[in-house]
Amino acid sequence: MSRTTQITSLGRDHDLESSVTTSIQLQPLPQSEIQQRDTNRHEASDRELSDIDPVLEASRAADNDVPDGGYAWVVIFASAIVCFWFTGNGNYTWGVIQNALLEQKLASAATLSFIGSLSPTIMAVLAIVNARVIRWLGIRLSAILGIVLLGVAQLTSGFSTHSVAGQFITRGVGVGLGMSLCFMVTSTIPAQYFSRKRGLANGIVSAGGGLGAAVLSYVLDALIQRFGVQWAYRIVGTMTLVTGLPAAWILKERTTLPRVSFIEWRLFKDLKFVWIFVAGAIATFPLLVPAFFLPFYSSSIKLPSSTGAALLSGYNFSSAVGRILGGFCSDNLGPLNTLIISLILSAVSMLALWPASTTLIPLAFFAVINGASNGMYFATVPTAVGNIFGSARVSVAFGMIVTGWGAGYLMVSSSSVVTVLESEADM
């Protein structure tokens, strides 16, 4: 190729390159548009950051590392033993003791039912406070303190069976303080060790309480018949300390949880939280009535006291089965669906079965259905709270929900007065 041809070709290439460059040249935007776009981008970023929940993010990170087995099952079964004693010594066996105190004419049924309602009321009212106590003392020391309070309260109750004020202080307040600590410990610790099987873990722990109530219904009745109510209190209190303290010692935190507020008011902006809170506040009003009054009601229809204790034991055993079933359903159907099912079953049994239970067989059927549905409810709530609002804040969120149960528990005594008056009028 000649030199002239090369120069001509280069010139053409230069002209083409210049024309292309000119055709794709970017035009600058007005300064106002750039500022507006930057402002919009920053506002969107701020909204995203405000929607991030650091506690929920920490919960998800912690849930990825949970063992879901192994030593975690040891912690679960130790928690079930603690639950065995605080539930067995609590409201689910009060009907047996109440019947014995009625026979010795300590006080009216209305007064005694109020004493019995004090312990679950205190358990509920102090839930938020004890959530903070657990973070301060730790799981192990909180469980030990709860068992000590529970056992000592039972022992001292044995020395105050002829004093209404004494029963208020020991059986009402003392047992309530111990129950509250133990309840918060055993309800929140499964979330630290389980994620996929969290419902089953909560169900097993809660079933320990149902089993404790079933066993101690028989044990208390047998001890009262043989030794009297004073020694029944003392023996059960001693058993609580001897077996409950080693189980409490096994419990421990798996991880250090992030700091959270004493009360997280922002949770009330969540419709799911509001639903669980309101449903619990309403539902707990009637839930303890059968546990309080099955023995008394059976006596009112001319059944022996041993039959009343057996009915209460059957109610509590069904509650244990319902708690495990509730855990299984929570893992497979979802905790909110399980809560709805349990509340429907409880309502139907209270409205349709109990009013028609004037003989042993229908009354036993009612005890089984109602006990199972109530147990299912109590086993499912901790799972729902942990899964929806995060395992790292389960103690605070669960404490807020349980505090809403306080009014319902206290009103058990008022509903019991109506039950007593109607039963006595029919006798």
Domains and CATH numbers, the chain: 66-426 (1.20.1250.20)
Question: How many helices, marked H, and strands, marked E, lie in the chain?
Answer: 21, 0
Q: Max alpha carbon distance in the chain (Å)?
A: 130
pLDDT of residue 421: 52
Please report, in tens digits, the pLDDT of each residue of the chain (427 residues total). 444 444 444 444 444 444 444 444 445 545 444 444 444 443 443 343 335 566 666 666 666 677 778 889 999 999 999 999 999 888 788 888 988 998 898 888 778 888 888 898 999 999 999 988 998 899 999 999 999 999 999 999 999 999 999 999 999 999 999 999 999 999 889 888 888 888 999 999 999 998 998 899 889 989 999 999 999 999 999 999 999 999 999 998 887 666 667 788 888 988 989 999 998 888 887 887 887 778 878 888 888 878 888 898 899 899 999 999 999 999 999 999 999 999 999 999 989 888 888 889 999 999 999 999 999 999 999 999 888 887 777 888 899 999 989 888 877 655 655 555 555 555 5
- CB-hemisphere CA count at 13 Å for 351? 6
Dihedral class, residue 357 (left if φ above 0, else alpha if ψ from -120 to 50, else beta): beta
pLDDT of residue 233: 96
pLDDT of residue 51: 53
pLDDT of residue 309: 81
pLDDT of residue 426: 54
pLDDT of residue 135: 86
pLDDT of residue 16: 42
- pTM, two decimals, is 0.78
* Full DSSP string of 124-172: HHTHHHHHHHHHHH-HHHHHHHHHHHHHHHHHHHTT-TT-HHHHIIIII
The Cα–Cα gap between 325 and 364 comes to 20
